[in-house]
Chain A
Amino acid sequence: MSTFVEKLKAYSKPGYYDEFDYHWTMTIDLDRCTGCEACVVACQAENNLPIVGEKRIARNREIKWIRIERYWEGDFPDVKMGFIPMLCQQCDDAPCETVCPVFATYHNQDGLNTQIYNRCIGTRSCAIYCPYEVRYFNWFTYTWDEPLEQQLNPDVSVREKGVMEKCTFCIQRIRIAKDKAKDDDQRRVRDGEVVPACVQGCPTEAMVFGDSNDPEAKVSKMMKNPRGYAVLEELNTTPSIVYLKKAHA
């Protein structure tokens, strides 16, 4: 009986783990962000995102795992524009994970909210439950015109129609780094060894990525910045992305 109670208690914890092995976290400094969309392009190239075409973008069916959201403040002519890069927040209490009937999306021991394409049956309920709207559905099977298919990343699967996809924090790079660290005398992954495509592509170094379980990591120091906040914090999804507010708008 007691083991049952313990199991039940363990089950109610986010992601079922007390502490993640690694806790991959990202900070995005909005003061540094220029909205150049280099991250969007980098992501497109790294993760085999389909080129959906003009018509489908007009119908709101684009697939961009990271997007730059624009907001305007004030009325013309006193208009100020603000922008915020929006990508999967890798929530610790992710609403999308509870709703998937087939466990296509779940939390792994690295604190990542993973998506398994082969298991997805396409109920699209995860996208409904996600408050950040960062899940993208494959409405069609997309093809790449020659010679674009030559640049497909062999480390990332190409998705077929009917499955959901989203930002993975470039899990293929995390896997490679972890494998290397394991071969290298079972050490832990060092700070800066994993760099997702968007972070790599950012010209102003607005994004910092790392393991927040490591107090010495750059990302852990950035997180302590008093400008830090999480988007839609009041929903208690406990996102893994910390945004640093613009100091003066």
Chain B
Amino acid sequence: MKAQETMFDQGQPSYADVNKDVLSSMLETGPRYWVLLGTTMSVAVICFFMPWVYQLFVGIGAAGMNRNAVWGTYISNFIFWIGLSHSGTLLSAVLHITNSQWRKSIYRSAEAMTLFSLMTAALFIMVHVGRVWFVHWTFPIPNPMGLWPNFRSPLMFDVMAITTYLTASSIFIYMGSVPDFAAVRDASTGLRRRLYTIFSFGWRGTAKEWHTLGWAYTFFAVFVIPLAVSVHSIVSWDFALSIVPGLHHTIFAPYFVCGAIYSGTAGIVTVMYCLRKFLGFEKYIGQVHLDNLGKLLIALSLIWSYINILELFSTWYGGTSFEIEALKFRLTGFYAPLYWEMILFCAFVPLLMLFKKFRLSWNKMLVISILINIGMLTERFIIVATSLPRKFLPNAFGFYFPSWVEISITIGSFAIFATLFLIFIKWVPAVSIYEVKETLKPLRRDA
């Protein structure tokens, strides 16, 4: 019950306040929003789509990859965005099952984060492959070649896992929003009212409807958890199932899953900050969320550090010359500064959150969460850039450095994510209206 009382920093709002606050964030659009949306959209077009079109015409050679380093920033960004997607739906599902009250005001936007980072990740696959116009061949669709995809391929597992995860988390977020769509319908007129009537499936709020929703929602929560774990395990297998020194580790699946949840949770903190700042959800997103997310981040950072140490140790203990060479390059080679930056940002900076002073300050948490995600972005880059160009034959050792096309597309991907998120907050209530109301203490007549 204590958590319930502290969830609202500025006193408990009334039922009507909740509706008004959340719906106004959707229905009232100021010039600041349009400026922001216009900026992110133009950045997305200029930095992401224009270089991509250029690359489509010229060939993948527009990127900085070469014979030895045939995978580059596109793949590392793909892993990063998949990773970022991991916390939203997973965290929301876990907290739903464990019946945490503090989840209720943040889960909607966390799940939206999952959805949009998955979409951004999928875009990176499109950017990465050499002939994107044939990418549908990876789906088991009957085709004139009479050919089924290769189910032995980890890349094929990827296609299956990501499409399943995308579908499941879309259904999950939609299902949880149905009563809120009904609230929007009731508060609006004209075309919007008709649209939201369809979106809400004619929700009336009868006891039977609530019962069905609760049952279905819990079912999906249970369903989504193993799915999320499997997705990043499979992404890690793209690397771990190869025989490349430095990647061929059994620890990779848990390492990636842990890293994914870690970076995703940090991403949630960043998104929470923005929601609070720009949409005025100070009432609903408070200290308790920061505190709990901070504690979670500390735990994840410790697990992450532990797995990192294990990886180094088992490589060193194994002692094969190829592995030692890969390890040496990672720790002391050209990209060593990036490696140590990652260790600093992901293993040491988060320890600051052990102090309550850091955990309860929005600005400090924002900085820490961004640093963690910079660290995680470089982690993925290091995996790709230090291992793949240096495999077995020293004569064929190469070097990888991203070209301007890759750097620009990386920047553009953040703009795509931001654009999707900005569109989302105007279409779906970013804070769950009905679930926040559930946490309110019933008002007594004499209160």
Interface residues of A (CB under 8 A from B): 56, 59-62, 69-71, 86, 95, 98-103, 119-125, 127-129, 131-133, 135-141, 161-164, 231-232, 235
Chain B residues within an 8 Å CB radius of A119: 137, 145, 147
Q: Is B16 at the interface (CB under 8 A from chain A)?
A: no
Contacts of A137 in B (CB 8 A): 60, 67, 70, 130
With the chains together, A132 CA to B244 CA distance in Å?
11
Minimum Cβ distance to chain B for residue A123 (Å): 5
Query: A102, B137: Cβ atoms under 8 Å?
Result: yes
Residues of B within 8 A of A (CB): 58-61, 65-68, 70-71, 128-132, 134-135, 137-138, 145, 147, 149-150, 152-156, 159, 238, 241-244, 388, 391-396, 398-399
Task: Determine if B61 and A61 form an interchain contact, defined as CB atoms under 8 angstroms apart.
Answer: yes
A231 to B71, CA, bound (A): 24
CA distance A122 to B61 in the complex (A): 12
Q: Measured between C-beta atoms, what is the minimum distance from B363 to chain A in Å? A: 42
Specify which of B70, B71, B131, B395 is in contact with A121 (CB 8 Å cutoff).
B131
* Complex CA distance for A69 and B395, rounded to whole angstroms: 6
Min C-beta distance of B70 to chain A, whole Å: 4
Give complex CA distance A236, B68 in Å: 22
A-B contact pairs, 17 of them (CB 8 A): A71-B394, A102-B147, A102-B150, A119-B145, A120-B131, A121-B132, A121-B138, A122-B60, A122-B129, A133-B67, A133-B68, A133-B391, A139-B61, A140-B59, A161-B61, A162-B130, A163-B131
Apart from A60-B67, A119-B147: 17 A-B pairs, beta carbons within 8 A: A60-B398, A62-B67, A99-B242, A101-B150, A121-B137, A124-B70, A125-B71, A125-B238, A128-B244, A128-B388, A129-B242, A131-B391, A136-B67, A137-B67, A140-B58, A161-B131, A163-B130
Contacts of B393 in A (CB 8 A): 69, 86, 131-133, 231-232
The answer to whether B60 touches A162, judged by C-beta atoms less than 8 angstroms apart, is yes
- Checking A70, A86, A141 against B59 with a beta-carbon cut-off of 8 angstroms, the contacting residue is A141
List chain B residues, Cβ under 8 A from A62: 67
CA distance A123 to B159 in the complex (A): 12
B59 touches A162 (CB 8 A): yes
**In whole Å, how far is A75's beta carbon from the nearest beta carbon of chain B?**
16
User: Across the two chains, which residue of chain A brings its CB closest to B128?
Assistant: A123
Q: Among A71, A121, A131, which residue has its beta carbon within 8 angstroms of that of B392? A: A131
With A61-B61, A119-B147 in contact, do A132 and B392 touch (Cβ < 8 Å)? yes
Q: Which of A86, A102, A137, A138 has the most CB of B within 10 A?
A: A102
In the bound assembly, the distance between CA atoms of A122 and B129 in angstroms comes to 5
Question: Which of the listed residues B61, B138, B238, B396 has the most CB atoms from chain A within 10 Å of its own CB?
Answer: B61
Q: How far is the CA of A156 from the CA of B298 in the complex (A)?
A: 59
Known contacts A121-B130, A137-B60, A161-B130; is-contact A98 B152 (Cβ 8 Å)? yes
CB distance from B428 to the nearest CB of A (A): 34
Cβ contact of B396, chosen from A69, A124, A128, cutoff 8 A: A69
Q: In the assembled complex, how far is the CB of residue A243 from the closest CB belonging to chain B, in whole angstroms?
A: 13
In whole angstroms, how far apart are the Cα atoms of A125 and B388 in the complex? 11
Q: Are B60 and A127 in contact (CB under 8 A)?
A: no
In the docked arrangement, what's the CA distance between A56 and B87, Å? 42
Residue pair B137, A60 in contact (C-beta under 8 Å): no
- Closest residue to A133 on the B side, CB-wise? B396
- Given A60-B68, A123-B129, A129-B242, A98 contacting B60 (CB threshold 8 A): no
A113 → B minimal CB distance (Å): 14
A70 interface neighbour in B70, B137, B395, Cβ under 8 Å:
B395
Q: How far is the CA of A70 from the CA of B393 in the complex (A)?
A: 11
Bound form: Cα–Cα A127–B388 in Å: 10
The 10 tightest CB contacts between A and B, nearest first, are A122-B130, A162-B130, A139-B61, A161-B59, A69-B395, A60-B66, A124-B70, A140-B59, A162-B131, A133-B396
Selected from A60, A61, A99, the residue in CB contact (under 8 A) with B153 is: A99
Docked pose: A125 CA to B65 CA in angstroms: 13
Interface centre among B58, B392, B399 (most CB of A within 10 A): B392
Q: Report the separation of the CA atoms of residues A137 and B388 in the bound assembly, to the nearest whole angstrom.
A: 15
Residue B243 contacts which of A95, A100, A101 (CB distance < 8 angstroms)?
A95
Rounded to whole angstroms, the CA-CA distance of A199 and B153 in the bound complex is 34
CB distance from B14 to the nearest CB of A (A): 55
- Is B59's CB under 8 angstroms from A139's CB? yes
B155: nearest chain-A partner, CB-CB: A101
A101, B60: Cβ atoms closer than 8 Å: no
Chain B nearest CB, measured from A132 CB (Å): 7
**Bound form: Cα–Cα A122–B70 in Å:** 10
Q: Which of B138, B150, B399 has the most CB of A within 10 A?
A: B150
- Of B58, B242, B396, the residue contacting A95 (CB under 8 A) is B242
B205 vs chain A, min Cβ distance (A): 46
A129 to chain B: closest residue by CB: B242
For B130, give its contact among A69, A124, A129, A133 (CB under 8 Å).
A124
**In the complex, are the beta carbons of B59 and A129 less than 8 A apart?**
no
Contacts of A232 in B (CB 8 A): 392-393
Query: Within 8 Å CB of B61, what residues of A?
Result: 56, 61, 139-140, 161
Q: Look across to chain B and name the residue whose beta carbon is closest to the beta carbon of A131.
A: B392
- Residues of the B chain whose Cβ atoms lie less than 8 Å from the Cβ of A131: 243-244, 391-393
Given contacts A123-B129, A133-B67, A138-B59, contact A101 B156 (CB under 8 A): yes
